[in-house]
Amino acid sequence: MIELQDATKRVGNVIHIKPTNLTLQTGHFNVLLGATGSGKTSLIKMMAGLDPIASGKVLMDGQDVTRLNTQKRQISLVHQFFVNYPHMTVFDNIASPLRVAGMAQSEVEGRVEEAADLLQLRPMLKRRPHELSGGQQQRTALARAIAKESRAVFLDEPLANLDYKLREELREQLPDLFAGRGAVVVYATSEPEEALLLGGYTALMEDGRVTQFGPTADIYRNPENIAAARVFSDPPINVAGITVSNTQAQLAGGGGWTVTDMPDGEYMVAVRPHRVTPYRTSDADVELTGRVIVTELSGSDSSAHFRHGSDDWVSLAAGVHPYQVGEDHSFYMNPAHCRYFGQDGKRVA
Amino acid sequence: MRTENQKAWFFVLPVLALVAFNALVPMMTVVNYSVQETFGNNQFFWEGLGWFEQILRSDRFQAALGRQFLFTFLILIIEVPLGIIVALSMPRKGFWVPVCLVLMALPMLIPWNVVGSMWNIFTLPKIGLMGYFLNDVLGINYDMTQQPLSAWITVIVMDVWHWTSLVVLLCYAGLVSIPDAYYQAAKIDGASPWSVFRYIQLPKMKTVLTIAILLRFMDSFNIYTEPFVLTGGGPGNSTTLLSIDLVKIALGQFDLGPAAAMSLIYFAITLLVSWVFYTLMTKDDAQ
């Protein structure tokens, strides 16, 4: 278990991490999700003890490790870059932390071979990193993290520099590789899709703070604020202003529906692109008419950016749809999928 | 199917022409002199390999060659480790980086003959600051114009002062190109500073270090100006390195044949040792 208590990181006068409270449980797969520069790496370095923290505390299994050296924290870290000792064989690379820890040679061999088997590195054990492909190099780094008995494993965008196929393959294996090892696993990524595929728990990060933390599916379905809703959506979530008066919600660009339990006033409505379709999905659907600005076809999905009033909307629908750029099209949205936020960005309904 | 296309040769022609003018033609002139006896009015007599034999057998050449190897050996064994140590202790980021870099580059910006004159004046007993300080303040008997050992120490120290910066700058470039991630990985593993040097910094510096060693070998093996200005090869012949001896034969005695033969032997040795160095140091990568 890792706990952050009001932990802050500052470099000079710039605050990189605002006071953060977070508890990550042993055995859980925890995803840090946020855009580049949102503080994922900073947070990892704080927990790993690579960067000093300005104020607050870091606890591991209840023990205060705020001032404890990195090597005494029993952790592993896998980077976005493939970091291996260049002049050591794959075997020696995986074995290096075990040897530094003074483990007996027979046990070292056993552990290295176990890790190598898990990551299909056995035929490469005698090779050097520069003789391996990018995927094999990163698997070596992962094997080193697995072989070492760690209380926490930090994976900082470990798949970012791999090609698409390898990324999918390794991503599928990752949760299983670390399951049952008695470590807190922390995985940083900037891709919402990756967080959803990995499951477990997700901490949303924005601008140096954790905006929401909980089981990944919960966060996806129930973002607490507009920032969380934005981070956890790719393509970006649709956000538009609405006016509620007498339980009637009205979009500025036309289209309205009935809402309950919301006092009169100005709100923001957020709805995911795949809930805005060029065809009717239910009787309750609201029709939005707008001029199509851009269309994209990705695989078997078509997306259309259209202008509705003064707002830009995105629709993402399965199948190929013949949009005409510059023409008006009708799109449909079921109000049941809408999330409502106040002007301050907090969730209302 | 493969088609033969001879057009490619045309693209090589400019390079051939360039190399011919700046290397082959001057070199062939030397080859020409080295196999003939030259008299006034451009009269030549065929000498064969006689000059080569004479040079290789001569005690004078062997002594100069010995001094040259000793000098280069001392230079490499001092400048390379020293350069690595200085590079390691330089700051990686912040205000002091440009300051250190400029200070490091300064000695290399000074013309070679100025370096020689500077050190000559600096180390002269009685007059020079260092000469005076060593003799009259510390009471050490030091005179590079009279004592071979003093002369050698002065020549070596001068070269270390002049050229260690090159090794430093090259190693420093290699060091700063190592991503932080490597140091973090070592920190997490709990690796000692020695292990960080041995398993991260040294392997990552290897390429630039190879270049640094090669450059320092070639430069120190061919060194002429600075020791010539500083000691003129003396006292006696004690600091007469190969190039100084060569100039004495060629321009002092005007023995063109032996001088040309000696040039070619000198060149062959430099080339051969460089090649051996390079092959040994890059052997590992070629696997």
d(CA B75, CA B218): 11
Is the CB of residue B184 less than 8 Å away from at least one CB of chain A?
A: yes
pLDDT of residue B79 exceeding 80, the answer is yes
Domain count for chain B: 1
Q: What's the pLDDT band for B286 if we cut at 50, 70, 90?
A: very low
**Chain B residues lying within 8 Å of A97, measured CB to CB:** 188-190
Helix segments in chain B, DSSP class H: 8-19, 25-34, 50-57, 59-89, 96-109, 112-123, 129-132, 148-176, 180-189, 193-196, 202-221, 225-231, 242-247, 256-282
Residue B139 belongs to domain with CATH number: 1.10.3720.10
Handedness of CA B239, B241, B245, B250 (dihedral sign): negative
B197 domain-assigned: yes
pLDDT of residue B287 exceeding 90, the answer is no
Please state, for a pLDDT cut of 90, what percent of chain A lies above it.
11
Find the CB nearest A71 among B179, B181, B187.
Answer: B187
Q: What's the pLDDT band for B284 if we cut at 50, 70, 90?
A: low
**Chain A residues lying within 8 Å of B204, measured CB to CB:** 86
Do the chains contact at A85 and B200, CB–CB below 8 Å?
yes
Q: What is the pLDDT of residues A202-261, one digit of tens each?
A: 998 888 888 889 998 888 888 888 888 887 887 889 998 898 888 888 888 888 888 888
d(CA A81, CA B176): 16
Do the chains contact at B185 and A79, CB–CB below 8 Å?
yes
Is the CB of residue B182 less than 8 Å away from at least one CB of chain A?
A: yes
**Chain B residues lying within 8 Å of A82, measured CB to CB:** none
The residue-averaged pLDDT of A265-292 equals: 89
Look up the ipTM and state it: 0.70
A340: β partners: A269
Q: What is the pLDDT of residues A89-131, one digit of tens each?
A: 999 999 988 888 888 888 899 889 988 988 888 898 999 888 8
B200 domain-assigned: yes
Please state, for a pLDDT cut of 70, what percent of chain A lies above it.
100
Give the type of residue at A97: P
Find the CB nearest B203 among A72, A87, A101.
Answer: A87
pLDDT of residue A277 exceeding 70, the answer is yes
B81 domain-assigned: yes
Is the CB of residue B204 less than 8 Å away from at least one CB of chain A?
A: yes
Interface test with B, best of A87, A92, A153, A155 (most B CBs within 10 A): A87
B90 domain-assigned: yes
Per-residue pLDDT at B77: 96
Q: What's the pLDDT band for B285 if we cut at 50, 70, 90?
A: low
**Chain A residues lying within 8 Å of B195, measured CB to CB:** 100
Q: What's the pLDDT band for B85 if we cut at 50, 70, 90?
A: very high
**Chain B residues lying within 8 Å of A88, measured CB to CB:** 199
Find the CB nearest A87 among B179, B188, B199.
Answer: B199
The full set of domains in chain A, from first to last, is 2-231 (3.40.50.300), 238-341 (2.40.50.140)
- Residue of chain A with shortest Cα separation from B199: A85
Is the CB of residue A276 less than 8 Å away from at least one CB of chain B?
A: no
In which residue are the tokens 């190879």 written? B210
B235 domain-assigned: yes
Handedness of CA A39, A43, A46, A49 (dihedral sign): negative
Q: What is the pLDDT of residues B117-158, one digit of tens each?
A: 889 889 888 788 888 888 888 878 878 888 888 889 989 999
Is the CB of residue B112 less than 8 Å away from at least one CB of chain A?
A: no
Domain with B136, as residue range(s), is 61-286
Is the CB of residue A101 less than 8 Å away from at least one CB of chain B?
A: yes
B8 domain-assigned: no
Q: What is the DSSP letter of A335?
A: G
Q: What is the DSSP letter of A225?
A: B
